Amino acid sequence: MIFLRDRIIGRLECGRTQLEVSEELGIAQSVISRLWQRFQDDGNVSRCYSIGRPRVTTPNEDRYLAVTAKRNRRSTASGLSRQLSSATGTTVSRQTVYRRLGHIDLYARRPVRCVPLTATHCRLRLAWSREHALWTPQQWSCVMFSDESRFSLQSDSRRTFIWRAPGTRYHQENTI
């Protein structure tokens, strides 16, 4: 398409009329006229891609949000918005924070609640399983295995979230 625009401008600069160029290339004369007008105004024939509302944050502010969210993974979007406002003076909504962090693959997710197994834990569990390998079904019926789920008797309305990238669910910094 850029090549076609250059051909149009080249023909107009050679002295052809807009109507002649329009008929020769099969393009509406109004398109030729707009292209020629834009070329005369700023010497450019490429399209302007400034459609939509301008962004509230600058790339530096986006980086600030990302660094702040990575340093304090449990911070809320509202808290990040307040921190950005106090640091730079730019006021953004909670939804804008979600979108900016989503562009760099940081999403608010529930953390995994578990105690990470150390090498000692693994060694002790293996030793225990070897000791009890020859148990009978009667003996195993007295044992209850747990998946280490967390149970709460009262309402848990204050769930905590962390900012993390996809695929990092079980990383050490994303567990509680």
Cβ 66 vs Cβ 104: under 8 Å: yes
Mean pLDDT by 10 residues, the chain (176 residues): 80 90 90 88 74 88 95 93 94 95 94 79 88 89 72 65 90 82
Dihedral sign of CA atoms 32, 35, 38, 40 in order: negative
* Cα dihedral value 102, 71, 114, 170, nearest 10: 50
Q: Token pair of 136, please?
A: 């009978």
53 vs 49: CA distance, rounded Å: 12
Question: pTM for the complete prediction?
Answer: 0.56
Q: What pLDDT score does 147 carry?
A: 65
